[in-house]
Amino acid sequence: MHLDFGFLRQLIASRMATMLSDRGGNVALTVAICIIPMILAVGAGLDYTRAYNVQSRMQSDLDAALVAAIKEIDEYDEDEIADKIKDWFDAQSEKQSATYDLTEIKVDKTGHTIRASASGTVPTTLMTLADIKTVPVGVVSAIEGPATSYLEVYIVIDKSPSMLLAATSEDQAMLRADKNINCEFACHSTADPVKKNKTAAVIASTYYDYIESLGVRLRTDVALDAVEEVLDMVDAADEDHARIKVGLYSLGETTTEVLAPTYSTSTARKKLSDDDAGLTSATSTTSTDFKTALKALQNKVGTAYDGSSADKPLKLVLLLTDGVQSDRDWVIKNVTWTCTEYKNGTCIRYKYGKNWGKVTPLNPDWCDYLKGDEATMAVLYTEYLAIPLDWGYNATLDDTMANSKWTSTWGGTLHSGVSSSTSRLDYIPIALQDCASSSDLFISAASEDEITAGLSTLFNQYLTSVRLTQ
């Protein structure tokens, strides 16, 4: 409902004149004495309600301007950022036909915060009867975020044998068709020599060397490309290399520190290309034990703080993984070698394996080791591609959650509404999303391009998150 305050003032003035002209006793005098304070009280209520609404709108405009500005704090000096805030604020207030102005902007790049205040006036309506023509309003806002804070980034790369899976379906097909290899996984081996057609003629010292000579890229190779993208972003976000540290870690039976958090991205890049550092496809672990590894990672990451200083950094864990709790021995030992299904002359299913049920998605509760210490968890799921011609895959991840030991051995709790007949493969992204600190810090990626871009997307998502502090 819209009130015509001009008409209302005229009506009240007319009624007052009528009452004041009344000579019939004390009514006119009494009304005259009481009516003016009553009108002013009503007018003050209406006018201050309008002022409050304008102030709320002003606060939203100022907050929006600071959210936009905080993302530019590393690219401009204080005066340039102040100008940008004014431009953003003016653009917002113009949309509202506002009658307020930005009166003060203070940018503190040292503390990596932005503070600003705005003030103005709101025209009154009924209060003009008391010669009060405007009501002053003002707001103050301050903002900070990861992009402006001290930050330690812990990049954790899954080094399980399954990360030696050929990166694309085309590469998988190439390896399976190769008579010297005949499997998509680099045969889970980096140590045994490769023999031509299985004869005595050795053509490569390791499966990794042979696969590399074919030009086939493995998931670990693509993972390192993704890390390179993040390092490029760190260089751009922290040009002076004085605010963001990066550490590198491999995850398998436990978590191994390859490089403690450092401001030197060049040192990190050297580790990525060094086979001896243990991050390349030249090596892999024999198993992935997330329960042990994430607990070990917690001890290395420690407690996260507010990012206000170098000794109180925010902490971000970027986990790149296929999310499978596994051990090669669980698959190949204690197996009843009775084939139950053949395809093209190859057995793709055996009867029974004692420990097949242990191969499951990770239990996301284990991620609470880190989240409980206020570290932020971001997860890139390098999708475990289905390999239906592999009997080990069919016996484990292609089987159901009901047939797994996810609850009895690993303590997992199935999501309500998710059927226990869901395959373990299909449950992996559900578990990994629960591992992340929020749904927008989880990405599932299948192709090389998706994996390479995924880690930097997560990092950018985290950097551009902000919090209003005043």
Q: What is the pLDDT of residue 373?
A: 94
Assigned token pair, 89: 């604020």
Count of alpha carbons within 13 Å of 155, Cβ hemisphere only?
A: 29
Say whether pLDDT at 39 is over 70: no
Give per-residue pLDDT as tens, 45-91: 676 777 778 778 878 887 877 777 776 666 677 788 788 888 877 87
Q: Please count the other Cβ atoms lying within 10 Å of the Cβ belonging to residue 104.
A: 12
334 φ, ψ (degrees, to nearest 5): 55, 45
Please spell the DSSP secondary structure of 400-424, one letter per residue.
BSTTS-TTTTT---PPTT--TTSBH
Give per-residue pLDDT as tens, 271-303: 999 999 999 988 888 889 999 999 999 999 999
Identify whether the C-beta of residue 70 lies closer than 8 Å to the C-beta of residue 467: no
Averaged pLDDT for residues 197-201 = 72
- What is the rounded distance in angstroms from the CA atom of residue 317 to the CA atom of residue 151? 11
Q: What is the pLDDT of residue 182?
A: 67
Domains identified in the chain and CATH numbers: 5-143 (no CATH), 151-168+217-468 (3.40.50.410)
Q: Is the pTM of this model over 0.85?
A: no
Q: What is the pLDDT of residue 429?
A: 97
H or E stretch at 173 = helix 169-177
What does pLDDT average to over the chain? 83
Assigned token pair, 75: 């690219």
